[in-house]
Chains A and B, each alone.
Chain A
Amino acid sequence: MAEKKSLWQALAGIDRRIVYLTLLVVLVVPLILSLGLSVKPMKDVSQRVRQVFEQVDSLQYSGMPLMISVDFDPASKGELQPMLYALLRHAAARNVPVLVLGLWPNGVGLAKTALEDVGREYGRQNGVDWVFLGYKAGIDAVILGMGENIARVFPSDAMGSRLDQHPLMQRVRRLADVGFVVSLSAGTPGYLDWLLYAQSRYRVRMATGTTAVQAADAYPYVGTGQLRGIVAGMKGAAEYEILNQQAGFRQASTPAIDAMDAQSFAQFAIVLLVVIGNVGFFVAGRRRK
């Protein structure tokens, strides 16, 4: 006859399907109810996200363009796509020209969609307000090449038009002519490649928007000023959207802010599950002794 499980053993051994279902409920309910509980606590945006925002904002005075490197693919779009939209909207609202490229071949499609969407929202013009360089194979060779001459690396933009035909590119010849670089990074290649080759050799001012997985690893570079801020994960994207809201910029959607309630409840649920698992494990273990 099977030994009857004690309550504590049961607590430490909940079926995985119940865990999955709990997680699903905890995520779906706040998304549907759209309570907006997270908006007020986020008004105090973190210093590191604010740093990035202020750097991009300052470009309106210098007239130098913002360069965004879309270093992610659809697997990380949940975290980084909202950041991309928020950055593009910020640049559009401040009339800052934008250069967009990608070091991941499967990410440029997402970049193009975002450029077109924000371009329509703000009436921005290809060649004047933005240039989409697209993807180029070679990763570090691309960055190093742009440090010397962007047109040598990208003789034409992603749509096939010659780069020298774009008014914006008349005054942007190399990385030193770019005001600020933001690498939206999901792994390798990513912000580290930009740090190694663009920041160290060509003294490019840069920041990164990373997936939360990588965020903790980027802090040493933020501490030295090599990265001028970091936008970490979906929470970082939500904070950037909040800053855009506070500045009065038009935003067709704020997917990251909308997700914060679900994110919060999920985190609490995971913490609770881990605590329950530990309590069950230790009490059951002690009783067995």
Chain B
Amino acid sequence: MQRSVPLTICLVMGIVMMVQFFSPHPFSRGLLETVNTWVRLISGFALALGAGSLILHHTTKIRRKQPGWGYSIVTLSALAATAAIGWAAGPTMMDNKQLLINVIYSNIQVPLGASMFSILAFYIASASYRAFRARNKEATILLLAAFLVMLGTVPLGKVVWDGFPKWSRYLLEIPNLAAKRGIIFGVALGTIATSLKIILGIERGWLGGGK
């Protein structure tokens, strides 16, 4: 039952939603609306699962005094404080920029989030310099294409040579398009195969371990 019930639900839902796509009947559209509503609400609860896992991980770290447990206190305190402040703000929290939750968002979350990804610029510069070698024909083609796109996309590339943006545009709209289209076909066929396997219960990895 622990596996057969979920597999049956998965099978029924999968077939119903596939069939629904082809039916314009009002019952079918009503079913779609209802099921979509349920999925939206269930997705909201799924977040609680993620939060719970994180809280469990960090509390375990603190309890066992594992290396770096002090930082776990930072995470849990920040989580608790932000959530409490946000919940206290109420359903109209987006309306008022001065609310503490919005101040925390604009002045703590935004700078931290933006900075996290901005340091990648340094790493990509260093990694490109260190690792990007034209060792063979394929790597050379990749390198040349990258150079043309990099120099063709920026405005000053046009100042250096008029041809950079033209070649960049050609590369993007013809060979790049062809390659990405091939990848899209492959990914689409793979997605269809995997989805069918999930619906039919052939792919059971999502059930996890246990009985």
Contacts and interface: CB of A to CB of B under 8 A. Distances in A.
B91 to A, nearest CB: 5
Interface stretch (A90-98, A243-251, A266-274): A266-274
A145 B40 contact: yes
Contact of B40 (A37, A141, A219, A276): A141
Contacts of B157: 264, 267
Contacts of B132: 274, 277-278
B169 A46 contact: yes
B36 interface: yes
B23 interface: no
A220 B129 contact: no
Given A220-B180, A220-B181, A278-B134, A75 B129 contact: no
Interface residues of B, number: 61
Contacts of B92: 159-160
B130 interface: yes
B179 to A, nearest CB: 9
Contact of B155 (A38, A74, A142): A38
Interface string B148-174: 011101111111000000000100110
B113 interface: yes
Contacts of A159: 92, 94-95
Contacts of A168: none
Nearest to B95: A159
B36 A273 contact: no
B121 to A, nearest CB: 7
Interface string B82-98: 00000000011011010
A108 interface: yes
A136 interface: yes
A223 B154 CA distance: 22
Interface of A: 14, 16, 19-20, 23, 37-39, 41-42, 44, 46, 73-78, 106, 108-110, 112-113, 116, 132, 134, 136-139, 141-142, 144-145, 148-149, 152-153, 158-160, 201, 212, 216-217, 219-220, 223, 232-233, 235, 238, 260-261, 263-271, 273-274, 276-278, 281
Interface of B: 21, 29, 32-33, 36-37, 39-41, 43-44, 47, 91-92, 94-95, 97, 102, 105-106, 109-114, 116-118, 121-122, 124-126, 128-130, 132-134, 143, 147, 149-151, 153-159, 169, 172-173, 176-177, 180-181, 183-184
Given A74-B110, A137-B43, A277-B132, 11 more contacts: A44-B158, A74-B109, A77-B110, A145-B37, A148-B36, A152-B33, A264-B155, A264-B157, A267-B151, A277-B133, A278-B133
